[in-house]
Amino acid sequence: MWLIDSSIGRKLIMSITGGFLVLFLIFHGTMNLVVLFSADAYNAIAAFLGANWYALVGTKVLAIGFVVHIIYAIYLTSQNMKARGNQTYAVTKTQKGVEWTSQNMFVLGVIVFGFMILHLIQFWSKMQWVELSHKMGLETAGYLSLATDGAYWVKHYFENPLYSVLYIIWLVALWLHLTHGVWSALQTIGASNNVWLPRIKVISNIISTLIILMFISIPVYFLLGFSI
């Protein structure tokens, strides 16, 4: 199968599944900004997402795409290490300034994935999982009353300066991963000539930076002493 056997096919899979990650981050980053202006509005959005099947399906599709991206990255890395030592997958052309990022995309991806798992444990397990457990008749350990109060959990975790600082460090790794990943994806789908190469680098940096700014606003807000 050419999608797996050819280098173009492998890059195409990584590009498409990476796009799911970008859409997932844009969606949640936009949602997160709301909590800084209105806790009630944030909780209303969270309730809407949890109550409507199409919102749940959309979120799950994006999440599954990201999981496939991670699994396929692990597969490609293992294959590349067997064939060429420690060299990981890369785009056919390398721009100045992205060499380190390109060589460490897998490491950055592992950092991003690890922190996202922690993020899910701290938020998803306290909210959607509690509600699902309650519907299945399982013990909710007293969290049911807080399961619909996402703003409470945002405040609970980000009021801890250590967590906020670690979150920012994670966002730096995410920014590095995205700046190269978005650029690589755009190049893979055909924007690879001398005219478009500089442009797609700028586009990838803008998209990645906007995503990070949305997410980083939360820990910075709390580190500056504000609260919701």
Q: How far apart are CA 31 and CA 18, in angstroms?
A: 20
> What's the confidence (pLDDT) of residue 209?
93
| pTM, to two decimals | 0.75
Highest-confidence range of 74-78, 173-177, 187-191, by mean pLDDT? 173-177
Confidence of residue 135 (pLDDT cuts 50, 70, 90): low
pLDDT tens digit string along 166-184? 999 989 988 988 887 777 7
